[in-house]
Structure 1
């Protein structure tokens, strides 16, 4: 049985909390859920002791009053910027257009027909490349309204097969063969490729300051919870006190 200064944390409450703590095993999830409820009880008890009222808003008010939130100055932000340039790059992006010939992966005949039609379109475009927008009218994708133009595509935002095809092309180049995906077969043309690039400090200063502020706040909250845990009598579960490792 888990208690915090004599207040029991019911099994049912821990069971309900489990959904918020995915883990490799149920035991690990249960431990995380139980610790979270112990921390909540510590905070609610301190709210009551200090007369802040009750509920989650009162907990927020308690933390706002007890946990400092320092602002990172420009020099601190610049040091973080210099040490983390790789994390502050604009993402790679492609501008592409396509024509989708839809076919269910489970329908072999439809897949064969879609592949043949896509191949015929590619052959036609090799002779008359300016017809892409007109031929895109038969696409099963809503991008047909834009002549097949998909706009900017970033890594991870499309299916792997389509992204691999884009990586194999140079700007202006048409993929020589139909590109298969779970949606059917695509006729793919890369219009532009924008490689990742380093961003200037001025473009990311506000983002860095926000990251540093949030990191400082999380650390300070963990330390404050450690102090509360050190003052309390906690039974049935191990929770780090002020001299132990940080509580998550």
Structure 2
């Protein structure tokens, strides 16, 4: 189905999801409306203008001590020293022109096969993965927190079981089938040693939520076709 944002067609195949494609176009149009961007600007100028929109119109307060302590208590596994995971993956890459639904269908089918026959993982990685690790059967070695993109890290470290994970991991690179082979839990760090890191993690999550809410508000004032963005008509959204 064609995606239209205020009458402008969006090229969904350039994005991991139709929602991201539509949100990007909404923010681009908002930058044009603010006079910060020409309607036919080059892609690099579009990204700069969108960053300006988010920087000037999405405000995230710094978390206080109490909020940081609560966040730390709720996410203890994140704040360990020496925590390592041995993992493998198969990347089905999303490139311009790729049909995202078709690629997801292929990835889901392969995931189902490997959940039933995990011994085929290395063979499928060598023949199907778009990552250089495919030549090694998908081996990524031992990974620590901060070594991968956030979505991948969350799948590896947030209480994931051993073996082939039951769900695809989607990142900006594409769809990943992931196998966790070993966990080394590490040692829990006290709050006082990680206060700044906790504050940064909490600030980042608050910023993500604030951007989501901001997009919902401007989506509530837009005409969308072919995509749902959970639009809100009021800025007082939760």
Q: As a proportion of its length, which structure holds more helix?
A: 1
TM-score norm. by structure 2 comes to 0.49
Between 1 and 2, higher relative CO (CA 8 Å, sep ≥ 6) is seen in 2
